[in-house]
Amino acid sequence: MAPRMNAIVIVDKPSGMTSAEVVRRVKRVVRPARVGHLGTLDPFATGVLPVLIGEATKLAHFMEGGDKRYQGLIALGTETDTLDREGEVVRTAEVPPLDRERLAEIERRFTGKITQVPPVFSAIKRAGVPLYRLARQGVEIEPPEPREVEIRLLKLEAAARDSIRLEAVCSPGTYIRSLARDIGIALGSAAHLAELRRLWTAGYSIEDASPLEAVLQALESGDWKYARLLDLAEAMPGLPCAKLDPVLEKRLRNGDSSALDLMVPAGAGIFKVLSLAGNLIAIARATSRTTAAIERIFNS
């Protein structure tokens, strides 16, 4: 496998495509390299989708989680079974006046730790089967268990008489579709999510992202710089690093974690281990101020 095929690329996912389809299209270009992604986006949604290629797939466990930032449009007056624009209407209601005072009260009500019921059309599994698959088969499904999530920032602005612009920063596991439904209920109306764009996840922003077609074209042509491929060492830029000389690197690659003795960055928990050339060798976890255990080794 070519070293350049061990990389991270930030795709601006287009609407109308699943996250899995993005992975399939990238994989067709870079095979036999493995390909994965971080943080599923619904088919109608757009925005930041980190795609991991080759050895970068080993980073998924460490990169998952963290806050996410979204922009969206809530359509009032109708609720759908999927809680987005692609579903069937299941409820209608009048739309109240959307004055600033009322929206500010809703912002306060939904900011902080809240309880929400995830959508039935979701990837949550029951008996090993994703709920959305059962729902599409017409199986009657009990709603998922409520879960606590945290909305760290919520901004609402009337976009029209029957729609609201939304910006939210939220914890992992938050469903913006459920938030839209619950905002509609709090307003005494009904609602579904008409638009959703992810602006930030896993440490990457929309400014880091490239359109999928541009990424595929760059990968196919070999113009790597235009694909904006990120080296594995660039992942998780906030993590501290330790650098090993070739002798210590060889020991570490042979499974000898004592090669990290006295190399642990001050105050580190998880940290990156790099070669003197700056390539990612491993992810390690400090076990004391001077010792560490290997979490994952990366092939050169």
> Hunting for tokens 């061990």 — which residue is that?
6
Amino acid at 101: E
Report the half-sphere exposure of 131 (CA within 13 A, side-chain side). 17
Burial class (CB in 10 A: 0-12, 13-18, 19+), 29: middle
User: Tokens representing 73?
Assistant: 């449009």
Q: How many residues does the chain have?
A: 300
In a domain, 225, yes or no: yes
- Report the 10 Å Cβ neighbour count for 278: 11
Cis previous bond, 3, omega within 30: no
- Report the 10 Å Cβ neighbour count for 103: 18
Pairing between strand 241-244 and 230-231? unpaired
- Same domain for 186 and 77, yes or no, is yes
In a domain, 167, yes or no: no
Q: How far apart are CA 31 and CA 54, in angstroms?
A: 9
Question: Residue 253's domain is classified under what CATH number?
Answer: 2.30.130.10
Catalogue the active-site residues.
42
- Same domain for 23 and 91, yes or no, is no
In a domain, 88, yes or no: yes
In a domain, 195, yes or no: no
Q: Three-state SS for 213?
A: helix
Amino acid at 245: D
Residue pLDDT tens, the chain, 300 long = 333 589 999 999 999 999 999 999 999 999 899 999 999 999 999 999 999 999 999 999 999 888 999 999 999 999 999 999 999 999 999 999 999 999 999 999 999 999 999 988 777 777 777 777 766 777 777 888 999 999 999 999 999 999 999 999 999 999 999 999 999 999 999 999 999 999 999 989 999 999 999 999 988 887 766 678 888 999 988 899 999 999 999 999 999 999 999 999 988 899 999 999 999 999 999 999 999 999 999 986
Amino acid at 88: E
Q: How far apart are CA 64 and CA 52, in angstroms?
A: 12
- Same domain for 259 and 216, yes or no, is no
DSSP 8-state class, residue 265: P
- Same domain for 82 and 127, yes or no, is yes
- Same domain for 84 and 182, yes or no, is yes
- Same domain for 108 and 184, yes or no, is yes
- Same domain for 118 and 150, yes or no, is yes
pLDDT number for residue 64: 87
- Same domain for 141 and 82, yes or no, is yes
User: Tokens representing 177?
Assistant: 């579709």
- Same domain for 38 and 108, yes or no, is no
In a domain, 196, yes or no: no
Contacts of 127 (CB under 8 A, 6+ apart): none
What is the full DSSP assignment across 41-84?
Answer: --TT-EEEEEEEEGGGGGGHHHH--S-EEEEEEEEESEEESSSB
Query: Helices (DSSP H) in 163-276: which residue ranges?
Result: 176-186, 212-221, 224-227, 246-253
Q: How far apart are CA 35 and CA 105, in angstroms?
A: 44
- Report the 10 Å Cβ neighbour count for 151: 20
Structural domain count, the chain: 3
Question: Residue 107's domain is classified under what CATH number?
Answer: 3.30.2350.10
pLDDT number for residue 4: 53
- Report the 10 Å Cβ neighbour count for 21: 14
- Same domain for 19 and 118, yes or no, is no
In a domain, 197, yes or no: no
In a domain, 177, yes or no: yes
- Same domain for 23 and 40, yes or no, is yes
Burial class (CB in 10 A: 0-12, 13-18, 19+), 38: buried
- Same domain for 91 and 153, yes or no, is yes
In a domain, 198, yes or no: no
Domain membership of residue 178 as a residue range: 73-162+172-190
